[in-house]
């Protein structure tokens, strides 16, 4: 969520999973791979 002109905005984001991830585990992962720990998303649906 964010703020735009004093209003709360919601953006739909996507992850490379085939199912909905309601509670991502952002602290899981190995720090020495690609981008490290985290849960990475995009606003581009076709990826």
Report the SS3 class of residue 30: coil
pLDDT of 2: 64
7 exposed, middle or buried (CB, 10 Å; 0-12, 13-18, 19+)? exposed
pLDDT of 47: 61
- Greater pLDDT, 33 or 1: 33
pLDDT tens track for 11-45:
888 888 778 888 888 777 777 877 777 777 888 88
Model-wide pTM > 0.85: no
pLDDT of 21: 82
pLDDT of 1: 59
């Amino acid at each position: 969520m964010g703020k735009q002109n004093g209003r709360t905005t919601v953006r739909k984001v996507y992850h490379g999973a085939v199912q909905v991830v309601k509670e991502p585990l952002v602290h899981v992962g190995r720090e020495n791979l690609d981008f490290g720990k985290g849960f990475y998303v995009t606003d581009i649906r076709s990826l």
